Structure 1
């Protein structure tokens, strides 16, 4: 019985560690997503700012 309890406690500890590692990965991925969204918005604003000038230089 004692051996089984130790095994279960070991498994729980391992699972808790795995969950924490997975949570850390999710947090890092969300930070990357947030940064990419910010970068994309910056690029979008820059492209929109350039578009009128490009149309004036190259009339169709």
Structure 2
């Protein structure tokens, strides 16, 4: 997973080490998680494709 942190008060992306500094100033910090690889739109179709090959 990739994690990105944003300070909504500064409207900038921040490093993980800067979270405490921003929060101590009363800023709101928001984290966004993104998987390293994306799954197909319908994960159930992948299961059907695998079972059809056998």
TM-score (norm. length: structure 2): 0.32
Between structure 1 and structure 2, the one with the greater Rg is: 1
| Higher normalized strand content (fraction of residues) | 2
TM-score, with length taken from structure 1: 0.30
